[in-house]
Chain A
Amino acid sequence: MPTRPARSTTRTTTRAAARPKEQPAQHRSEDDPRIMLDRQVSADLYQPIPPYPTRTEREAEFYSLGDGQMFLNIGPHHPATHGVLRLVVKLSGEQVVDVDPVLGYLHRGVEKICENSDYYHVIDQVDPLEYVSSLFQEWAAVLAFEKLMDVEVPARAEYIRVLSGELLRVASHTLFMGFLALDLGGLTPILYSFIERDEIVEMLAALTGARMLFNYFRIGGVNGDLNHDFMSRLGDWMSRAARQTEANTGLLNENEIFVRRARGVGVMNREMALRFGVTGGNLRASGIPFDVRRAHPYSVYPALDFNVPTRLEGDSLARYLIRMDEVRESIKIIDQCLHQMPDGPVMARLPRLLRPRPGRAWGAVEGPRGMLGVYAISDGSDQPFRFRIHDPSFMNLEVVSHLLPGNLLADTMAIVASLDPIMGGIDK
């Protein structure tokens, strides 16, 4: 048992000392959650907000109430938190004084499971992480494994990856528009965005076979080639894609309430964005044109011409408009992909049981929310030795505890929704 940090006196040290020393070495069962359930621990499975002793200076500073201040749980079950995020907000009247995001309500131990499954199964395991756009998570994993195994991906597979990835980026950004409008009180944009998203997702189901968790990319290519059903649906979607996007976003762009509530709220300047490692649309909204497709080109993106939309205001409205520009860029990319699609195989020839040579690799992809990174270490066996997943929403959400203080409680929803966190990726 490693010793605790010196300055924090934790309740657990006393419990650890009292526990008998001779527990079975190889499997500490008392940490198994079901044992905790069985051992009639106190009715609540874990202690809520302190009375447990505060352990770090940040926690002590946060959980000390001034006069006229109160704690409010925008808790794990709340319509506006995108999934199971819990924001403990310290309020004085309507003003937010401080925020402490509590994560872990959707922590499923994906990295540990990936270290105990073989390389094909790992690609399937990373799908539910960023479940709204799961192809990008697969792309990062596959990119890292291809670097590990020095696999040459045929050109047609690269183009199919870019095509399906950009389609999913459009679907993810339309969902983002619906959620942001829903959080600001608009009920109809969510219906429009789900109509658009369902159409794209049905198209990808025709290509890959699944609506959400695709498991479509393989190390060295993709699972299946383009088929007529997919191409016909893609054809008639492309014919009205641009007009449909303008119609959907036109609903919001000039809406006085939406603009007044989003403009000038949650402003993030360049230094804060860089210091917090924020990536993706949120970084480009603060004036830094960092897009992994341009900054560190992978796949066939050097052969495609698209520009990286960048804005300088850095507020919630800029983050929304950036994503709508990215939808137009993605439609341009899909168009180019369809024209330049080469013929040829879709999958490189690989042995059935993959045992990559020992080594380390880092693969990063530009997802709709930012840079998705995978750091894979292999030790020669057919299971990855360490599979580290870096999720952009994890870094984007961290800014919340510095953007929210000072705003009104109603504006917190505008800021959290504009950062577009997806809890599956944050809690891994």
Chain B
Amino acid sequence: MAVGDRGPRRTRTAPPAADSAASSLPAAAAAAGGDIAAVAPGDLTAPIVVPNTFWRATNPLAYDGGRPPEVTHLREFGRTDAGRRDDARWGALQVVPTRADYILDLIRANSLWPLLSGLACCAIEMMSSATSKNDMDRWGMFPFRASPRQSDVLIVAGTLTTKMSGPLIRLWEQMPEPKWCVALGDCTVSGGRYKRSYSTVQGIDRVMPVDVYIPGCPPRPEGLIYGMLQLGQLVKDRRGHWPEREIGPTVPDKI
């Protein structure tokens, strides 16, 4: 159960060893997309870069346009501040929502309403964990709201294909603000058995900020319930720091 790797809140210290690797990024990142700010070395934790010695694409422009494949756009974008949104209040009122969150997040942690969205086989296990044998309602997660406007958690259960990623990103956008995303099943965590398919998104963290990854194909209902409990714990830990989330509350259009 790998809880999304959250660096310490705002202060990030770049380990010296990774400096050399980090420096190789700016040239490539700048070349890729204009609106993604250049990544200055030292102000971010560089990703642990494992050189991919297994395979080289015969056509260097094949996948990420010459950039090392380990760096995905969303993670780069997450490090900039373009993703975070201020809450547009006047003066003192700015402080109120975050202070109120210290109490409200306790309430939210115990009543995480998931969105009724099942894509494939993991949806059957999600339903099985929501019905009476192993019951998710014991921790307040029961009513699977049908519309994104009334739900807090988006459980992506099943393989996300490129054709479905448009609608699913729109669902994620339409959910009201403190919202969390749970990747259920190998296909959503990192592509799973469809890592080589031509029509799936290999891992939904390429298109969405994910909080809890639940491996398994399909994971047992107890696994999903354990993941949701971890999410409740995560909400309690990060009380009041919702706007400083590493990847902004919303996913930008162009990624």
Residues of A at the B interface (CB closer than 8 Å) are 24, 26-27, 29, 31-38, 40, 43-46, 75-79, 83-84, 104-110, 112-113, 116, 124-125, 128, 131-132, 175, 190-191, 194-195, 197-198, 201, 211-213, 423-424
Shortest Cβ distance from residue B118 to the other chain A in the assembled complex, whole angstroms: 7
Shortest Cβ distance from residue B169 to the other chain A in the assembled complex, whole angstroms: 8
Shortest Cβ distance from residue A359 to the other chain B in the assembled complex, whole angstroms: 27
Specify the chain A residue showing the minimal Cβ separation from B132. A191
Specify the chain B residue showing the minimal Cβ separation from A104. B163
Are the C-beta atoms of B62 and A32 separated by less than 8 Å? yes
B196 proximity list for chain A (CB < 8 A): 113, 116
Specify the chain A residue showing the minimal Cβ separation from B123. A83
B49 contacts chain A at the CB level, 8 A cutoff: no
- Given A83-B119, A195-B132, A213-B218, output 13 extra A-B contacts at Cβ < 8 Å: A29-B63, A40-B254, A77-B167, A84-B164, A104-B161, A106-B158, A106-B159, A107-B199, A113-B197, A191-B132, A194-B132, A195-B131, A212-B125
Partner of A212, one of B58, B194, B218: B218
Are the C-beta atoms of A24 and B146 separated by less than 8 Å? no
Specify the chain B residue showing the minimal Cβ separation from A198. B133
A27 to B146, alpha carbons, bound, how many Å?
A: 42
A36 proximity list for chain B (CB < 8 A): 162
Shortest Cβ distance from residue B71 to the other chain A in the assembled complex, whole angstroms: 12
Are the C-beta atoms of A191 and B162 separated by less than 8 Å? no
Q: Is the interface of A mostly helix, strand, loop or mixed?
A: loop
B46 contacts chain A at the CB level, 8 A cutoff: no
B54 contacts chain A at the CB level, 8 A cutoff: no
Interface residues of B in 67-112 (CB under 8 A from A): 73
Specify the chain B residue showing the minimal Cβ separation from A116. B196
Contact with A along B201-232 (1 / 0, CB 8 A): 10000110000000001101000000000000
B64 proximity list for chain A (CB < 8 A): 34, 38
Specify the chain A residue showing the minimal Cβ separation from B32. A38
A104 to B33, alpha carbons, bound, how many Å?
A: 30
Shortest Cβ distance from residue A173 to the other chain B in the assembled complex, whole angstroms: 14
B53 contacts chain A at the CB level, 8 A cutoff: no
A43 to B250, alpha carbons, bound, how many Å?
A: 14
A83 proximity list for chain B (CB < 8 A): 118-120, 123, 158
Partner of B163, one of A32, A45, A128, A201: A45
Q: Could you list 14 A-B pairs, sorted by A, with CB under 8 Å?
A: A37-B207, A38-B65, A40-B33, A46-B163, A79-B146, A106-B120, A107-B199, A108-B199, A109-B199, A131-B121, A191-B132, A195-B133, A423-B120, A424-B120
Are the C-beta atoms of B132 and A109 separated by less than 8 Å? no
B218 proximity list for chain A (CB < 8 A): 211-213
B207 proximity list for chain A (CB < 8 A): 37
A116 to B196, alpha carbons, bound, how many Å?
A: 10
